[in-house]
Amino acid sequence: MLKWEHSIPVIQKSMSKKQDIHQAFEDFLAEQDSRYTQQKREIVDALKNMMHPFEVDDFLAILHRKKKDKNFSRATVYRTIKQLLEAKLIQKIQTPEGKVYYETNFEQEQHDHIICNACGKIIQIQESIINQYFSDYCQQIDFVPDYRSVHIYGTCKKYLQSGELCKD
């Protein structure tokens, strides 16, 4: 089971930024000769409310609970998630056990993750010194980054000390 711990407050963006997400996805889909259907739009709207990494099946259950009058097929949700990943609007987080989680990139500042191999806890980190290091290094080697995803895997202190899985 996924454990989630915030190390930074979630930063809310303006409504115009949220609308830009729809435009960015619509533009990406047009480049791929794909349509931005009403169902895809509703999936993106639902993803905006996901504050933590999620598994697709869990998201699908949430979507069905919130949109009881709509029928979202599993295939449509998985295909939309894949397209959002390709558009770099979400990112994939994979645990050593092979579990796959996704996290939206729409409303969060650049951040990285520390993932416990034992209990599955994911800690979100955002430090300006890390961001500055990557920026400086890329500039030093004349490299223009499009995207960054850093995941550090290890074992959390609680598990090391007690040998028990985290319950929080």
Q: 3-7, 50-54, 130-134 — which is least confidently predicted?
A: 3-7
Q: Over the range 156-166, which residues count as b (16 or more CB within 10 Å of their CB) and which as e?
A: bebbeeeeeeb
Supply 124's token pair. Answer: 């979100």
How many whole angstroms separate alpha carbon 33 and alpha carbon 117? 40
CB 92 within 8 A of CB 100: yes
pLDDT in tens, 150-160: 888 899 888 88
H-state helical runs in 32-122 = 38-47, 56-66, 74-86
Sheet holding 151-154, edge to edge: 3-6, 121-125, 112-116, 151-154
Supply 19's token pair. Answer: 């609308």
pLDDT in tens, 26-50: 999 999 999 999 999 999 999 988 8
Q: Residue 166 has what pLDDT?
A: 65
DSSP symbols for 59-81: HHHHHHHHTTTS---HHHHHHHH
Q: Measuring CA to CA, which residue among 4, 96, 87, 111 is closest to residue 52?
A: 4
The answer, yes or no, to whether residue 13 has pLDDT greater than 60, is: no
| pLDDT band (50, 70, 90) for residue 103 | confident
CB 70 within 8 A of CB 39: yes
